Amino acid sequence: MADAVLERDPNHAAVSGGVTDDANKYTEPLRVDPTTKRLKVTATTTDLIGTQTRSVAAVSVDNTLGGVSIVTADSTIKSFILYNNGTATVFLGPSGVTAANGLPLAAGSSFRESNINIALYGITAGSTENVRVMLIKEA
């Protein structure tokens, strides 16, 4: 592409660059919307996952020894999102997690995991905090 000649769009307006798959001799111009000044993008997607269900829940996480179960190991769970809706840090990890070894999830922050079949537990340093959980499962 280094020696490619830049093309013009269908309206014969000059473009500033283009993309190619490197096997194609034609460089596809990058088109800019004249109103928004953003790149015009066209995409085709295929749902490879199948039918999905989404569920939400609120989990109270405290300083229970070993942690409180937040997400259970389930092969139908394709993704989950956690949001710390509390005011203090929640520490995440496997069963037996502690505030000293857990992954900190600060108040107001979120954590997302995909394509993994794990059980996840949480614990706090002392207070009881609210964690919101969204599960995306394959039906």
pLDDT tens digits along 24-54: 666 666 677 777 777 766 655 455 556 788 8
pLDDT tens digits along 83-123: 999 999 999 999 999 999 999 999 999 999 998 899 999 99
Task: Look up the domain containing 84 and give its range.
Answer: 52-138
* Rounded distance between C-alpha atoms, residue 78 and residue 39, angstroms: 32
Residue 58: HSE in the Cβ half-sphere, 13 Å Cα cutoff: 6
* Rounded distance between C-alpha atoms, residue 97 and residue 63, angstroms: 10
Asked if residue 122 and residue 80 are part of one domain, the reply reads: yes
Q: Dig out the tokens for 36 from the structure.
A: 């928004």
The CB density around residue 61, as the number of other CB atoms within 10 Å, is 26
Find tokens 């037996």 and name the residue.
96
Asked if residue 78 and residue 22 are part of one domain, the reply reads: no
Q: The pTM is what?
A: 0.64
What CATH number corresponds to the domain at position 65? 2.60.120.770
